[in-house]
Amino acid sequence: MESLRYKNADIYFSSHGKGRVVVLLHGFLENISMWDDIIPILSQKYRVISIDLLGHGKTENIGYIHSMEDQALMVKAVLDSLNLYRYVMIGHSMGGYVGLAFAQLFSSHIKGLCLMNSTPLTDSPEKKINRDRAIEAVKQNYKTFVRMSVPNLFAPYNLMKYKDEVGVIIEQALLMQPQGIIASLEGMKLRKNRVEELKKINAPTQFIIGQNDGAIDIESTLQSVENTSTEIIIFPDGHMSHIENKAELIETLHHFIRKCYQ
């Protein structure tokens, strides 16, 4: 694990392997460790950079709100510090929102963008209300919020199968500062609709979708990329494809990265 000082905060990241670059961005309540089973495989062929996003993992907070643009600028600072210029970016959930913000700000640096269990759409009015409720719940008791939120990311029928994994994610999320959780909820609530920006990306794009993902509006997400060149991959399970559909995900990512660097 390496670190960078950015806006008076310590940012933590990892770098494994050599060659063409793949950047991995985790989701809300997650950290670099979500990629533990994927980095060793991808880093056999590529240089893999993974970053703890603002307020997550070991990375500190920089404000009351961490917008997706704030996160993207921090990611750019890390990549610049490593003298990296072109990369394939893979973002899980909130990491996908950050990846899209990054692609809008720094389009010439993107060799490919994979939105994994994510969407280019903004929050619906109902979802924004739920974000506000979540913020209040975090202020009341962030531990209860975390313990209730994480199981909802899995397909219900997988909860017993992945009971240990659910427990580890909860344990790690409980190490976060409540302010880091709130800052990301505020940032996700305010994020822009980036459907048009997605269409403008001059590189391969891919959506990975879980058929039983309760965290994403699957139908609207699929409609948003109708008649575009974005590749759609649908797995049978929930929001946590790196756990629920790990083998298929690794194969899919290998294929996508290879295509981006052809």
List beta partners, residue 206: 114, 231
**pLDDT per residue as tens digits for the range 239-259:** 999 999 999 999 999 999 999
- Domain ranges for the chain, please list them: 2-260
- What end-to-end distance do the CA atoms of the chain give, in Å? 30
Collect all residues with Cβ–Cβ distance below 8 Å to 130 and sequence separation of at least 6. none
Dist. CA 239–CA 84, nearest whole Å: 30
What helix, strand, coil percent values describe the chain, rounded to 5? 45, 20, 35
226 pLDDT tier (thresholds 50, 70, 90): confident
Q: Top-level CATH class of 2-260?
A: alpha beta
The mean predicted confidence, pLDDT, of the chain is: 96
pTM of the model: 0.97
CB 224, CB 119: distance < 8 Å: yes
pLDDT of residue 228: 85
Q: CA quadruple 91, 92, 97, 98: dihedral positive or negative? A: negative
